[in-house]
Amino acid sequence: MLRCERSEPRSIGLLLIVAFVLVACGTAPTLPSQAEIEAVEQRAAVPTPTRNARYLGNAGVMVTDGETKLLFDPLFDEGYGQYQLVPDDIRAALMAGTAPYDGVDVLFISHAHGDHFSAEPVLAFLQAHPQVKLVAPVQAVEKLEAAGLSDNADIIAFDQSPNDASLTLQAGAITVEAITIPHSGGTRFAHIRNTVYRVHVADDLRVLHLGDATTETAPIARQQQFWDAAENNLVFTPYWLFKNDQRRAALDLHIKPRSAIGVHVPTDLATLKQRYGTALDEVDLFTKPGEVRDLAVVE
Ligand SMILES: [Zn+2]
């Protein structure tokens, strides 16, 4: 089974400092200086796990397993006033291919909406990193072509509709399965092709990204054969599937992931939690760009 652990060197460091100050000063603790905090943090810093998931912004994540690096919905220009953009420093490192964003193998696009995909930065990324394979629905690739995508780019494009059988694609060494699940929002976004990927990162790690999957259970239930065809170790799901029992049925009864991380979380988390009551209390959410989960598989 998959276990996700947070890396929290700051809290460990602060505890150490408080303990040190209490011992050194008896009952009259003084606050540690910034330099002291940083010194302890550096000593307490744990190396990044070799198998991890790293949050970029909105539904953007990077999954790393040793030398394998996969990006999902990493480059987009729209936050629509409520979603987390990828911070400038992370985006610059992505574009430059500096660690930990070096050696990316595959870039996945869930769908052609501005809070998941923008043609210009994706095109610039592909031009700067020609070894990266792009896997995307035709709707996104058409926008890349309009922006000047060259014929020799390494693109795997597909035109898939809800209820179609799954596709199996090969992106270099990485096997990918794809189905199309309707976008949330009903008829307003019915024309948008929203892809769900199941990526075989390793023999014991399959990662799913749901894009902007619908809040309705029926279209997800209709793909039961797909969900059951492999073990779903980790799913990145839009937070809205955690809202109540009706929506959780998609996860709990149909997809049945071993582990789930909520993404697409509004930056105003306090208001969201008011709306959702206690529904998010026990849920793992990605909210801080750069945060990392250790993906250690325990059978
Ligand atoms: Zn969308």
212 alpha carbon – ligand 1 mean position (Å): 5
Task: Give the lowest-confidence range in 40-54, 123-137, 202-216, 236-250.
Answer: 40-54
Q: Where are the beta strands (DSSP E) in the chain?
A: 2-6, 51-57, 60-65, 68-72, 106-108, 133-137, 155-158, 167-171, 174-180, 195-202, 205-209, 234-238, 259-263, 292-297
180 alpha carbon – ligand 1 mean position (Å): 13
- Which residues keep their CB under 5 angstroms from ion ligand 1? 113, 212
Convert the pLDDT of each residue in 215-251 to its tens digit. Answer: 999 999 999 999 999 999 999 999 999 999 999 999 9
146 alpha carbon – ligand 1 mean position (Å): 20
Tell me the pLDDT of the chain averaged across its residues: 89
Convert the pLDDT of each residue in 186-214 to its tens digit. Answer: 899 999 999 999 999 999 999 999 999 99
Q: What's the predicted TM-score (pTM) here?
A: 0.86
111 alpha carbon – ligand 1 mean position (Å): 7
Structural domains in the chain, CATH included, are 1-46 (no CATH), 49-297 (3.60.15.10)
